[in-house]
Amino acid sequence: MFEPIGLSAEAAEVYRASLLGSGGSVEELAGLVDRPPEMVGEALDECVRLGLILPSWVNPGRVRAVSPDVALQALLTRQESDLLARQRQISETRVEVARLTEEFTAQRSRSERNEVEQLQGLDQIRGRIQELSADCTHSLVAFAPGGHQTADNREASRPLTEALRDQGVAMRTIYLDSIYNDPATVAHARWLVDLGNDVRTVASLPVRMIIFDDEAAIVPMDPDNSAEGALLFRGRGTLAVLSEHFRMVWERAAPLSTARRQRTSTDTRGLTGQERAVLRLLSEGLTDEGVARKLGVSVRTGRRITAELMARLGARSRFQAGLRAAHLGWLGEYPDEDEASGRDLTDLLDLPPSDGAESSTGSRLAGC
């Protein structure tokens, strides 16, 4: 009962016994409260420190209790004073919190007025992803390149994914076909599906990307090093392009339940989706390391696929293989719809193509 004013239960018991028993020695008080003398001695020390009990002036070795209307009122007054000081501190802190919030909101508003925001380092990137996820209300879509997902990434994503599920957000994620080489990643993908999300796979993906509610998108500044930094896009035009690009890739991706079978199926030219992706990447001049990274496979596996395709095409170099594949019409990512591979940035923006060849910037953005 007296803890709020700084008096322990044991000390309160000893003080009451001393007060009602007109003082006493340690041994007498121990008998009154039925406690060990050692405990009573510690409680007496606490009472003396708080001014509740004083040594007897008349009988050495005995104590006398101070009247509660004096001693306890003094404790109450001290606690009230401390409480008022604490309330003043809280009020001052509340003002500082409001000021900091106002400054942060103003800075965020200035930042969000720009259609592109640069994010530096993993901490800032992950912080923005958490903020955007918390504000997400209906849709989150993502490209997840890189093949197998590390154990740390899988575990770190689970709480965020569950929170999005609780917010009623529909998630769609596209992985690489090569995740089937890693049972742990496949198990994680199936966990996502069991949670109510949609998962599909394709042979290759251009870059890691997350789009929140078709209102904000995050892509890495360097596709080969996500830790280098990222760009946050908010412009309606850019978001429309990125969202449409995701939709196009999603439509040709295979659902997780059938992806393993579809991954090895061939089109009318006898090419698997992975082989078509390799030919396209070769035609773009990617190195063996670049091809392997886009497919999410080892460099050795990428070289084996490339060598087999070169032999089929009778090509002496990777670049020649890409050219011959283009001449034969093998570069369409859609098995039986070559015209679909011609959809580029100008198609998404509904603009006429520029004179001559497409700009390299447009080609890169259309492929992101």
Domain count, the chain: 3
| CA separation for the pair 207, 224 (Å, rounded) | 8
Given this model, what pLDDT does residue 109 score?
62
Domain shared by 18 and 79, yes or no: yes
Q: Compute CA distances 114 → 45, 216, 242, whole Å.
A: 66, 12, 17
Q: Are residues 141 and 238 in the same domain?
A: yes
Whose tokens are 């295979």? That residue is 254
Q: Are residues 56 and 176 in the same domain?
A: no
Q: Which CATH number characterizes residue 302's domain?
A: 1.10.10.10
Q: What is the reported pLDDT for 233?
A: 92
Residue 180 is part of a domain; what is its CATH number?
3.30.870.10
- Are residues 155 and 76 both part of a single domain? no
Closest CA relative to residue 5, chosen from 66, 58, 56, 72: 72
CB 71 within 8 Å of CB 12 = no
Residues 127 and 8 occupy one common structural domain: no
Residue 129 in this model has a pLDDT that exceeds 80: yes
Say if residue 344 is in the same domain as residue 271: yes
Three state DSSP letters for 332-365: CCCCCCHHHHHCCHHHHHCCCCCCCCCCHHHHHH
Tens of pLDDT, residue by residue over 275-317, are 878 877 877 777 778 777 777 777 888 888 888 888 888 888 8
Q: Cα-Cα-Cα-Cα dihedral of 59, 61, 67, 68, to 10°? A: -170
Residue 139, pLDDT score: 94
Q: Which of 113, 141, 158 corresponds to the end of one domain?
A: 113
Shared domain check, 124 and 244: yes
Q: Are residues 134 and 107 in the same domain?
A: no
Q: Give CA 179 to chain center in angstroms.
A: 21
Same domain, 14 and 127: no
pLDDT digits (tens, 9 = 90+) for 210-237: 999 999 999 998 877 766 789 999 888 8
Over residues 168-188, the pLDDT tens digits come to: 999 999 998 888 888 888 899
State which of 228, 258, 288 marks the end of a domain.
258
pTM value?
A: 0.52
Same domain, 173 and 288: no
Question: Is the domain of 109 the same as that of 121?
Answer: no
Domain range spanning residue 3? 1-113
Most confident of 15-19, 52-56, 152-156, 176-180: 176-180
Alpha helices in the chain (DSSP H): 9-20, 26-33, 37-50, 68-113, 121-135, 151-166, 183-194, 236-252, 256-264, 273-283, 288-295, 299-313, 318-327, 345-349, 360-366
Which residues does residue 172 pair with via DSSP β-bridges, in sequence order? Answer: 141, 198
Mark whether 40 and 136 lie in a shared domain. no
- Residue where a domain stops, chosen among 258, 283, 312: 258
